[in-house]
Structure 1
Amino acid sequence: MKNLNLKYCLVALGCATIFGLFLKENFSVIFFIAFVCLIMVNLIKEKSIPLQKSSKIIIALMIIYFLLGVIGVIINPESKKNYLTRLLPFLFSPFIFYAFQQLRNNNILFLRCFVLGNLLLLSFLDIWAIFDMISNQSFFVIKGGREYYRFLYTRYTNPNYFNHIYLSLYSFLSAMLIHEFKLTTNRLQWITLSYIFIHLVMISSRAMIISILFGSLIYLFIISIIKKKYLKYLFIYLFLIASLFSITYLFKNTLLFNRYSQVFEWYGKRDDILKRNYSINNRIKIYILGSSAIEESSGGIQGTGIAEEKIKTIYSKKFKDEFPFKTKTYNTHNQFINNYIDWGYAGIIILSLLLILIIKQAIEKHNYTLVYFWICFTILLMMECILYRQRGIMLFVILFALIANSPKNNILNPK
């Protein structure tokens, strides 16, 4: 009965995690807390298996991550207390690790629920987009004086439903889980992988695409060092990357590639880039402001959730006359910068240790596809504050528990 209850809990958690992209984050957190409460009841009623030593180290770091938030709130009264509540999954991590350890042989059930939910979500968005195009009899939509492909825009940029960055992250993770754990037959696997990667391109989250490109380069470089036979794949990939850059440059003024092509203007037209107020231009400005905030920081704990206000203040004081900056949010768009502004060196160290440990565990278990995912995820954190929202934090904690209790997989071991 104990395992049956936990099994149902895992199914509910898998569904709630993926469909949380459609729900308000508060609803997702309610599902998460309810799951934790069920685990607590199970712990009281039944004898539990002691957690592994490696899991205890990770859990300790997660709790420290939460405590940094607590200390920040105590030190700085202007801290965002709602940001501290978002960090609660780190505090509840022992119960998540317990659940995945108790049901280690059934964790595949969670993965299937997560992946199936992701595929259903993407299918729904496809139907929605097609209906939208037919009803409006147009392939394009104009917003803010700019033209977008309606098929892409109406699905992936509606803030009332989900954020396209998280949607692309979840979809990329689903692809990695399908490949790593062989969730389907070979033929169906390649169909689903192709379907997901086509959508990754269509979602067009620059941060996710850049993370995949550079993550692939780092991963191929590492396995080429381990085994020389992979060098040919590294050179093939370098050729593909060079081709992509060439295509982007040649078609830099087209609607499809202008989101990426501004990188070519950085050295020759830097002032022009800083004058614009498009998303990519504002991202560059944020990094300039973030670098200035780092220079002003003492490296100690300054507060919790104060990074946005710090960025806003620095812009008003030092850069207001240098370039225009119209934005709804002063999000740092870099988890490491965000942590440093809030918690100084401690924030950087704890986050880095967590990332290093999970990659180390995945390598030890020969889960090389997941090693690749975590490399890409680490790069993504340099462009997005994934651990600033509840859905990112929940996914982070759940994935840690999953990897810590996943079986060894020798299929991708480069011998």
Structure 2
Amino acid sequence: MYRNFLLFLLCLISIQLFGQNTTSSKPRVLISTDIGGTDPDDNQSMAHLLMYSDLFDLEGLVSSPSYGSGNKEEILRMIDLYEKDLPLLQKHKTGFASPNYLRSITKQGRKGAAPFKGYISSTEGSDWIIKSAKKKDKRPLWVLVWGGLDDLAQALHDAPEIQKNIRVYWIGGPNKKWSANSYAYIAANFPDLWMIEVNSSYYGFFSNNQKPDVVKTTDYYQKNIEGAGHLGGDFKDYYGGEIKMGDTPSLLYLMNGNPDDPEGESWGGSFEKIRRSSRVIFERNTTIEDSMAFCTVVEYRFQGPEINVPADSAVFQMEVPYGDGKQVWPGFYLGDGIYSLRYAPKQAEVLKFIFTSKIDRFPTGEGQLVVTNLWPGKARPEDYFLGENWYSDSSKPEDFDGRLQGGNTIFKWRNDILNDWAIRWSWLK
């Protein structure tokens, strides 16, 4: 009897002393993705995530298509494929996420970009971000954003106190174009957010040392993926099996390296602290004489006729030639005859565009911008001034991959990353 009492007492003491260490050492992760939209690289990155789900405590898969037709059904379809391959993965590793659990944390976020103010109304996805961020856990919630920032901006607006509980790794660049308004809202109102803003480094994962968005041609699919389960069969549908996976560096950052040290070495890149985010305001159209760094938030403000529409209504647009067609960005009426539009050019170029509107006497017309290649570029009084924990692409000359700022901090790890993944593909054959 006395012996049993001692054993009980020892167990009780152990729980009191060591109970605080029973929390998982895996990083807590929530993904915000525009999967199913215009860029199928999110499907490639989702396959990678699912095949490495044993390394993370996944807490959310949010569909956040600020542009295009993405939806949570595409996430669920990928989970169905994963479920079919899971028995083979489990022969080699334990701890893979349950398909039913993954379905339970898959949520629909904002469909379409936020208006000028950067937020509009809560979504299932933004509410889930809040719920996950408020969970009692000593570990931060890593919010990995593969698309626009609209759901994150909404969550921060609705529950600003979550800022202290989250860390964000955001694949910016083109996604900054599509969510310039939500980005502006976050940068202006949450400068102390712990943020890694990746505008160009991630290109190093698929670079061919030419211009961004050109996928490097390899035989990786034929050597490692072809014939590898249901996920492997599906992979062929994206870029014909060519590797892009522009969002995968967010996962790689948590897989290899010290995530508490953005300036250190990691598979997901090495970054530098920035204390300002570039912003420029024009109260006129721009010409070839105007220049700024890529990924600068360019804000146009026009004085025009007063009209009887609700503030933040989209009433004019900016049309940019793209391939054989054009891309269109909405401009908004702010009230009192003031109109405004934000645009964030994704790469160095001479940008040509035209403003159009059906409103009489609105100042339409063609314009140009010279976009330079070093972010965050020249300091301006209207920049967004940031706190101590905002990081972005390395500006060191040796870290450039060709013209890609910071690209070499990921490019140099590519063989190690793909060789490691090849092992997991082999499990599915």
**TM-score of the alignment, normalized to the shorter chain, above 0.5:** no
Bigger relative CO (Cα 8 Å, ≥ 6 apart):
1
Could you state the TM-score of these two structures normalised by the residue count of structure 1? 0.28
Which structure dedicates a bigger proportion of its chain to strand?
2
Higher CA-based Rg: 2
Which structure dedicates a bigger proportion of its chain to helix?
1
